Amino acid sequence: VDADGTRNFDLTMQQGSTEFLPGRQTPTWGFNGTYLGPTLRAERGERVKVRVRNTLGEASTVHWHGMHLPAPMDGGPHQMVPAGGTWAPHWTVDQPAATLWYHPHPHGATEDHVRRGLAGMFLLDDERSGRLPLPKRYGVDDLPVIVQDVAFDGKEFDFEHRALRDVGFLGDRTMVNGTLDPYREVRDERVRLRLLNASTARVHAFGFDDDRGFSLVATDGGLLSSAVTKKRLQLSPGERAEIVVRMEPGERTVLRSLPLDAGLNFWSKRFSGGDDSFDVLQLRAAETLRPSPALPDRLGEPEVPDGSDSVRERHFRLQLPLINGRTMDMNRIDTTVTRSTAETWVIRSEDGTPHNFHVHDVQFRILSVNGRRPPPELRGPKDTVFVAPNATVRIALRFDGPADPETPYMYHCHLLYHEDRGMMGQFVVV
């Protein structure tokens, strides 16, 4: 932190190799290391400055997924950092406590850059979250859980697993924070897992092998108004959730990625990996556990519009590789919204393929899924939402950043293979 209170981060995008499999070095990319990147953390109201250096040997970008910031700082495909170049975005954090993340966004190559290892978490805190009795000792009872599916061909990552699949790459095992077959010793009665689905295409339905319930406390953009008890939680690529798991002394439980119940028919389920299951992370409780306080009744005050003041409704039809009949064009603005207004967006998957929908700069509220009130886990602040085949999802968003008619933000399918094929559009705030 500078004298003037600016929080500075240095991120170097680099190539290297990582020993995932004993004795074998897999070529990988990372931020400040060979795979994934450091967890960045800042507080609401703080000024953040990042010095990004690109030593990859090819151009890339760093996008702050879920962050509300001016478009030139967003790290989308218009903010390329050339090979050997640098970029120094800065902004003031102006949103509630949340689990966000960062990853590259070069047009047409996002899947490749993320899958090689470029991703990290960006945690935001605020005064309210600091006072709540939630597990909050990072790395002790508050753990980042970056979930990715991978496949190996000998020592190399096998990137070619996508043959015949409409969704993109699907691996045959999962890693947490870049580790295969991970386990974690737990020394507290309650542990908070910040789950990030950083897989490029796979939708994970998380649950424990003993079917225990857990408390969902936050979604993409921050805390729910109150905790929700769940046994299963589905996250599509790019989505996050914070859950609190209660452990008994000496017990073990395994977080698993389970077969989906996502409104998929037999074939699309099969070809989107929906029948697969994986052990994701084993938790091993110590023989004595430190007591943790009970969860509070009230958590956050989600700051998302409720649709009542929407000034217009727009429709987005998803049909691989098209959104509203067009593929991404860097030189075309698809949508122009008015600063300080709210809108309702209606997203529909029309091609029998699973998709999701992510909007840069904002957190939105899901108003309905197929005309029905969304389930509790979809009522909090969101920036990415799963759109099952033939589903219709209505969301309310407010655009309250600075007007900038020159620099677009993106909305897109976060199945990165779909994004790279052109399922992305650009909006400007005027």
| Shortest spacing between CB 63 and Cu ion, in angstroms | 5
Cα–Cα distance, 189 to 295 (Å, whole number) = 12
Q: Is 307:393 a contact under the CB 8 Å cutoff?
A: no
Task: Please report, to the nearest 10 degrees, the dihedral formed by the alpha carbons of residues 118, 353, 228, 230 taken in order.
Answer: -90
- Residue 413 interacts with Cu ion (CB under 5 A): yes or no: yes
| Shortest spacing between CB 101 and ligand C2O, in angstroms | 7
What distance lies between CA 422 and its chain's CA centroid?
20
| Shortest spacing between CB 212 and ligand C2O, in angstroms | 30
- Which residue from 68, 192, 360, 394 is in contact with Cu ion, where contact means CB under 5 A? 360
- Which residue from 68, 78, 194, 355 is in contact with Cu ion, where contact means CB under 5 A? 355
- Which residue from 52, 415, 416, 424 is in contact with Cu ion, where contact means CB under 5 A? 415
Cα–Cα distance, 396 to 307 (Å, whole number) = 5
- Residue 238 interacts with ligand C2O (CB under 6 A): yes or no: yes
Dihedral sign, Cα of residue 179, residue 183, residue 185, residue 186: positive
- Which residue from 44, 53, 65, 348 is in contact with ligand C2O, where contact means CB under 6 A? 65
3-class state of residue 421 by DSSP: helix
- Which residue from 78, 116, 190, 418 is in contact with Cu ion, where contact means CB under 5 A? 418
Cα–Cα distance, 335 to 355 (Å, whole number) = 20
- Residue 65 interacts with Cu ion (CB under 5 A): yes or no: yes
- Our CB check for ligand C2O shows the closer of 135 and 408 to be 408
Cα–Cα distance, 299 to 222 (Å, whole number) = 10
418 binds, among ligand C2O, Cu ion, none (CB under 5 to 8 A by kind): Cu ion
- Using the 8-state DSSP alphabet, how is residue 295 labeled? P
- Residue 53 interacts with ligand C2O (CB under 6 A): yes or no: no
355 binds, among ligand C2O, Cu ion, none (CB under 5 to 8 A by kind): Cu ion
User: Which one, of 409, 394, 420, 415, lies nearest residue 359 by Cα?
Assistant: 409
- Please choose, out of 134-142, 181-189, 243-251, 409-417, the segment that lies near ligand C2O by the rule CB under 6 A: 409-417
- Interacting residues with ligand C2O between 100 and 119 (CB under 6 A): 103, 105
- Which residue from 358, 365, 382, 421 is in contact with ligand C2O, where contact means CB under 6 A? 358
- Using the 8-state DSSP alphabet, how is residue 294 labeled? P
User: Which one, of 230, 418, 202, 423, lies nearest residue 328 by Cα?
Assistant: 423
Q: Is 408:159 a contact under the CB 8 Å cutoff?
A: no
- Residue 410 interacts with ligand C2O (CB under 6 A): yes or no: yes
105 binds, among Cu ion, ligand C2O, none (CB under 5 to 8 A by kind): ligand C2O
- Residue 412 interacts with ligand C2O (CB under 6 A): yes or no: yes
